[in-house]
């Protein structure tokens, strides 16, 4: 990934479920000083609370189901075109359960979250894997998505201590609270201060995106 300088005033948020991170972004962007606003919410399925949250906030929505297309590449192109129609500065994958293809990744910066301190414990079971490994501290990561799984440049991270009696569900809920706060903080800073990417190094404003606790 080369060097870029950008700001993130217009957000398209992608969801697949309840949309709690979306709601946090909607709440934050209600304040003009936040610097960003959600201009559309997209989903890969209908009837989810994430879409209902957008409708209640008077934010346009769209749905692109993978099953409606003969080939995955056709869906990749369709969702990229739909996103483009809203002219976003930044796409936020907020619990979106599909991997975005090159048409979207090449056209827009895409922010994603992961419930572990990458590069440790990537993939679908980051919390479970952290517990199984016996770590004493885990956390969450905000990254710029690329074509891999949880392999993109890291924008910000926050630590979450592991308690002796934690199970996967309890620890994951505690991480989600921190993750939500970190995502809102990071998007706001990117919107107000801009960011640069050089190789795998991401800087927001004049500072390296770092830990927030």
Instruction: Enter the pTM of the model.
Output: 0.92
Instruction: State the catalytic residues.
Output: 114
Q: How far apart are CA 63 and CA 42, in angstroms?
A: 6
CA 110 to chain centre: 7
Encoded tokens for 115: 């419930």
Higher pLDDT, 206 or 37: 37
- Per-residue pLDDT, 207: 52
Please state, in angstroms and rounded to a whole number, the distance separating the CA atoms of residues 89 and 86.
9
Domain boundaries along the sequence of the chain? 4-207
How many whole angstroms separate alpha carbon 29 and alpha carbon 12?
Answer: 13
The mean per-residue pLDDT over the stretch 151-177 comes to 98
Distance CA 59, CA 19 (A): 13
HSE-up of residue 22 (Cα within 13 Å, Cβ side):
31
Which tokens go with 121?
């414990």
Q: Which of 40, 130, 28 is nearest to 79 (CA)?
A: 40
pLDDT digits (tens, 9 = 90+) for 53-109: 999 999 999 999 999 999 999 999 999 999 999 999 999 999 999 999 999 999 999
Query: What CATH number has the domain spanning 4-207?
Result: 3.40.50.170
- Is pLDDT of 133 > 70? yes
């Amino acid at each position: 990934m080369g060097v870029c300088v950008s700001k993130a005033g217009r957000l398209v948020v992608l969801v697949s479920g309840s949309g709690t991170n979306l709601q946090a972004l909607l709440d934050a962007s209600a304040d003009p000083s936040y610097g960003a606003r959600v201009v559309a919410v997209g989903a890969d399925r209908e009837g989810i609370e994430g879409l209902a949250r957008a409708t209640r906030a008077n934010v346009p929505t769209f749905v692109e189901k993978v099953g409606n297309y003969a080939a995955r590449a056709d869906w990749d192109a369709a969702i990229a075109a739909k996103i483009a129609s809203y002219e976003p500065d930044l796409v936020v994958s907020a619990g979106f359960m599909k991997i975005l293809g090159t048409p979207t990744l090449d056209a827009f910066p895409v922010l994603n979250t992961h419930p572990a301190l990458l590069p440790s414990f990537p993939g679908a079971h980051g919390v479970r894997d952290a517990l199984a490994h016996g770590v004493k501290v885990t956390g969450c990561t905000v990254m710029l998505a690329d074509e891999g799984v949880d392999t993109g440049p890291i924008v910000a991270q926050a630590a979450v201590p592991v308690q002796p009696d934690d199970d996967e569900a309890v620890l994951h809920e505690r991480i989600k609270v921190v993750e939500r706060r970190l995502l809102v903080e990071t998007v706001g800073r990117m919107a107000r201060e801009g960011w640069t990417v050089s190789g795998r190094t991401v800087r927001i404003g004049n500072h390296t995106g770092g830990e927030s606790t």
